[in-house]
């Protein structure tokens, strides 16, 4: 049985057809720039890349094309279910779940918490139900893994009434990735599923780190929204919230406009003035671009500082795991961060670090306890595996 995995965002929809048992990907693709004249459907099948213009297609047209494609490739018959990435499950979901009308209503109730992500996620669920009505659907939440955090980690020190009245608390994101790579690290360390003190650093365009104790998330860097925590591609990560008032008074911009700048024009892009892309910044820094150099310094320092802070929730450190596009590929960032964290007993192995790129997993320290690992993340596989499990159980 194969699973169709769908990650429906505001202007793109990623899809994959894969076997949850073997991880074999039969088809991967993305509908990009949805709603614009440059909209396109790009896919990879049998190792060959293809692209088709979609000329201003909306989400419905884009997904109709994607489903027509998997039909044309003879994959529809093999599908046992559809697994959706859903960003915000609030405090309502601590695990993946079969989608029912009640679940849809609950995801709708979480829209105020995830106003940018939940509406397109819900649209994906509605469209998949329309286009593939015979298939059961499953929601896999970015927030679910972090529901085990204790109050001391998830509470903000603000009036407690805000929690009851407005659901103000820390939720955390990238849960599917943190869950997958921490479980892999347990395997690599010969630990049982309920053992180990592991830090996971998911470093992609969005970045977050999590403290995983005995298989459960006990703290994480993202909060009410994915804006909190580490320096990211275009997001600032944690800043003094009074900055928003200051900038509204200083510039006349609205609070929402300043927030938008913190989400879209800050982080690596804002500091460097050049790019949000780590590869481009490493290259520019190497050629002497000072703002790119500063961006890398701040990125690594904030990352190391927050990782060290997360160790408090663990009480001990067995392993630090790097994942995501940067974590899986950037030899330089891992080197800088491990140097900053040397006091924890992490001793970088330069040769192993240089080799752990492009999907290669492994230990990159001489030290064994604690050790640093590179583990390529497989969020689609996790979504497919959860979907298959729930479909079979039902
Ligand atoms: P997303 O969060 O959108 O899934 P990815 O996990 O693919 O993003 O990560 C994208 C980031 O990974 C970009 O900043 C990109 O520059 C970075 N990256 C990819 N390959 C390398 C590399 N070889 N060296 C440094 N950074 C890399």
Query: Do 370 and 296 belong together in one domain?
Result: yes
What is the reported pLDDT for 336?
98
Number of domains forming the structure of the chain: 2
**Mind listing the pLDDT tens digit for each residue in 297-320?**
999 999 999 999 999 999 999 999
Residue nearest to atom 21 of ligand 1 (CA): 329
Question: How far is ligand 1, taken at its centre, from the CA of residue 183, in Å?
Answer: 22
Q: How many Å lie between the centroid of ligand 1 and the Cα of residue 330?
A: 8
For residue 387, tell me if it sits in a domain: no
In whole angstroms, give the CA distance from residue 108 to residue 89.
9
Helix (H/G/I), strand (E/B), else coil: 43: strand
Residue 278 in contact with ligand 1 by CB distance below 6 A: yes
Rounded to whole angstroms, the Cα distance separating 204 from 324 reads 5
Tell me, yes or no, whether 279 and 361 share the same domain. yes
Residues 136 and 272 in one domain: no
Instruction: Verify whether residue 350 is a known catalytic residue.
Output: no
The rounded distance, in Å, linking the Cα atoms of 371 and 347 is 8
Average pLDDT over residues 190-215: 98
Residue among 177, 278, 280, 331 whose CB has most ligand 1 atoms within 8 A, to mutate: 278
| Residue pLDDT, tens place only, 78-122 | 999 999 999 999 999 999 999 999 999 999 999 999 888 999 999
Q: Which one is catalytic: 142, 219, 318, 386?
A: 142
Domain boundary among 109, 141, 173: 141
Chain segment 265-295, per-residue pLDDT in tens: 999 999 999 999 999 999 999 999 999 999 9
- Regarding the beta carbon of 341 and ligand 1, being less than 6 Å apart is answered no
In this structure, are 98 and 244 located in the same domain? Answer: no
Q: Domain residues for 21?
A: 2-141
Task: Determine the pLDDT at residue 256.
Answer: 96
- In short, whether 207's Cβ falls inside 6 Å of ligand 1 is no
User: Does residue 314 belong to any structural domain of this protein?
Assistant: yes
Residue nearest to atom 24 of ligand 1 (CA): 330
Residues 124 and 212 reside in one and the same domain: no
Is any atom of ligand 1 closer than 6 Å to the C-beta of 204?
yes
Quote the pLDDT of residue 18. Answer: 97
The band of 207, judged by pLDDT with boundaries at 50, 70 and 90, is: very high
pLDDT tens readout for residues 235-255:
999 999 999 999 999 999 999
Determine the length of the chain: 394
Give the tens place of pLDDT for each residue, 371-389: 999 999 999 999 999 999 9
118 and 48 housed in the same domain: yes
Domain membership flag for residue 390: no
| Cross-strand bridge partners of residue 139 | 84, 97
Measured in Å, residue 206 CA sits from the centre of ligand 1 at: 10
Separation CA 257–CA 251 (nearest Å): 10
Torsion angle in degrees (nearest 10) through CA of 264, 268, 273, 278: -120
Mean pLDDT of 20-32: 96
Residue 321 confidence (pLDDT): 98
277 CA from centroid of ligand 1 (Å) = 7
Q: Measured between alpha carbons, how far is 86 from 100 in angstroms, rounded to an integer?
A: 14
Report, as an integer, the average pLDDT of 339-367. 97
- Domain end residue (candidates: 100, 117, 141): 141
Residue 360 domain flag: yes
- How many C-beta atoms surround the C-beta of residue 353 within 10 A? 22
**263 plus 342 within the same structural domain:** yes
282 Cβ closer than 6 Å to some ligand 1 atom: yes
The proportion of the chain whose per-residue pLDDT surpasses 70, expressed as a percent, equals 100
Ligand 1 atom closest to Cα of residue 377: 6
Instruction: Please work out whether the CB of residue 279 comes within 6 Å of at least one atom of ligand 1.
Output: yes
Is 26 a member of any domain? yes
Q: Are residues 204 and 277 in the same domain?
A: yes
277 lines ligand 1 (CB under 6 A): yes
In the reported structure, the alpha carbon of residue 210 is separated from the centroid of ligand 1 by a whole-number distance in angstroms of 19
The pLDDT mean for the chain works out to: 97
| Ligand 1 pocket, residue 327 CB under 6 Å | no
Residue 107 lies in a domain: yes
Q: Supply the residue whose CA is at minimum distance from atom 23 of ligand 1.
A: 329
Q: Which atom of ligand 1 is nearest to the CA of 324?
A: 6
- CATH code, domain carrying 280: 3.30.420.40
**Token pair belonging to 329:** 């590929």
- Whether residue 16 is found in the same domain as residue 106: yes
Structural domain includes residue 237: yes
Does 184 map to a domain?
no
Give Cα separations from 145 to 178, 242, 271, 365, 370 (angstroms). Answer: 8, 30, 31, 28, 23
Kindly give the distance from the C-alpha atom of residue 170 to the centroid of ligand 1, in angstroms, as a whole number: 26
Confidence of residue 17 (pLDDT cuts 50, 70, 90): very high
> pLDDT tens across 154-185, in order?
999 999 999 999 999 999 999 999 999 999 99
Ligand 1 mean position, distance from CA 360 (Å):
15
């Amino acid at each position: 049985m194969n699973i169709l995995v769908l990650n429906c965002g505001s202007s793109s929809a990623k899809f994959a057809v894969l076997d949850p048992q073997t991880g074999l990907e039969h088809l991967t693709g993305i509908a990009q720039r949805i709603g614009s004249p440059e909209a396109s459907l790009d896919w990879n099948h049998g190792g060959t890349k293809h692209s088709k213009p979609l000329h201003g297609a909306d989400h419905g047209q884009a997904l109709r094309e994607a489903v027509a494609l998997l039909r044309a490739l003879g994959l529809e018959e093999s599908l046992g279910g559809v697994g959706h990435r859903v960003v915000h499950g609030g405090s309502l979901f601590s695990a993946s779940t079969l989608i029912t009308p009640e679940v849809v209503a609950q995801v709708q109730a979480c829209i105020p918490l995830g106003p940018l992500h939940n509406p397109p996620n819900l649209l994906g669920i509605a469209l998949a139900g329309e286009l593939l009505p015979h298939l059961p659907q499953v929601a896999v939440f970015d927030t679910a893994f972090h529901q085990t955090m204790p109050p001391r980690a998830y509470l903000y020190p603000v009036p407690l009434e805000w929690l009851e009245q407005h659901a103000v608390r820390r939720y955390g994101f990238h849960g599917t990735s943190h869950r997958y790579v921490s479980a892999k690290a347990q395997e690599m360390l010969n630990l049982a599923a309920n053992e180990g003190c592991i830090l996971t650093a998911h470093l992609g365009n969005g970045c977050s780190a999590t403290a995983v104790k005995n298989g459960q998330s006990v703290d994480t860097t993202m909060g009410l929204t994915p804006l909190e925590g580490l320096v990211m591609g275009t997001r600032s990560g944690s800043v003094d919230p009074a900055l928003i008032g200051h900038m509204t008074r200083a510039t006349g911009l609205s609070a929402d406009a300043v927030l938008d700048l913190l989400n879209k024009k800050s982080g690596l892009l804002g500091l460097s003035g050049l790019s949000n892309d780590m590869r481009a910044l490493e290259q520019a820094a190497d050629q002497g671009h000072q703002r790119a150099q500063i961006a890398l310094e701040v990125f690594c320092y904030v990352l190391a500082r927050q990782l060290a802070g997360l160790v408090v929730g663990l009480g001990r450190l067995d392993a630090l795991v790097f994942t995501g596009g940067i974590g899986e590929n950037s030899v330089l960032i891992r080197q800088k961060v491990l140097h900053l964290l040397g006091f924890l007993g992490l001793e970088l192995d330069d040769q192993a670090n240089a080799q752990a790129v492009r999907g290669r997993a492994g230990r990159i320290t001489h030290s064994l306890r604690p050790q640093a690992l590179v583990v390529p993340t497989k969020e689609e596989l996790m979504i497919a595996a959860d979907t298959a499990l729930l479909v079979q159980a039902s």
